[in-house]
Amino acid sequence: MMQKIPFNVKLFSSIFLCLSVFAAQLTTAQELTVMGNAKAYKQLVEKDSLQQMVELNKWLSSAVFDLSYATKNNFTQTKLYPAGNQTFVRLLVAKALQKVEQDLSHAGYGLKIWDAYRPYGVTKKMWSLVGDERYVANPAKGSGHNRGLAVDLTITKDGKEVNMGTWFDNFSDTAHHAFKDLPEDVARTRQLLRTTMEKNGFKALETEWWHYSWPNDRQYGVLDLSLKKLRKTAH
């Protein structure tokens, strides 16, 4: 005969309480940390200079800047940044893009920059419109753009965009790297961009031929600093 084990209410309550506290602590630990305080950012840079955000147009000598989100000429049809050609990336990203620019220049090409650093608040607005992780970062995770690690760009010839098959922010399979039904010249220039970016340390996003990210090897955090605040701290 199986012995009946008495139910201890106090013991059960204690175990349940401990598990609840542990679960709450785990959830908190997994929550995304977003830095929106300029003073905290400056302190971070003082400890690790490679965390620094720099103004990209001061690092590239010949690139064309056409920051689409600084105008209404983008998929949101809303101006999300101040007008101008000011955008930012982490220091190592800027140095790598210098090398990309030099490599393309030797082949007779240049760069056009559409977007780089994106404040976290902008990503939240985009997600509310698209909500598809193939094309817009989920704010629950943050993005490479929010961390100053991602850049949206293309190749130019004599200052004009080379035909890449689609414009940027084209949310279709035509923009995927795996899409093969392309004219030979388009396939060739897409491959040139990818080869050059990967040679210099960037990683391609398979669903967007224009999007490349730097590895998050220094635990770069998500930023929600305005361009105005970064302008006061960047070099």
Q: Which residues pair with 204 in a beta bridge?
A: 212
Instruction: State the first-to-last Cα distance of the chain, in angstroms, to the nearest integer.
Output: 79
Q: Phi and psi at residue 186, in whole multiples of 5°?
A: -70, -45
Look up residue 124 and give its amino acid: K
pLDDT at 157 over 80: yes
Higher local confidence (pLDDT), 21 or 135: 135
71 CB neighbour count, 10 Å cutoff: 14
Q: Where are the beta strands (DSSP E) in 160-226?
A: 160-161, 203-205, 208-213, 222-223
Q: How far apart are CA 87 and CA 53, in angstroms?
A: 10
pLDDT grade, residue 129 (50/70/90)? Answer: confident
pLDDT for res 37: 94
**Each residue of 97-112: pLDDT tens digit?**
999 999 999 999 999 9
**Each residue of 17-35: pLDDT tens digit?**
444 433 433 333 357 999 9
Q: What are the distances in angstroms from CA 174 to CA 29, 179, 180, 191, 198?
A: 39, 6, 8, 14, 21
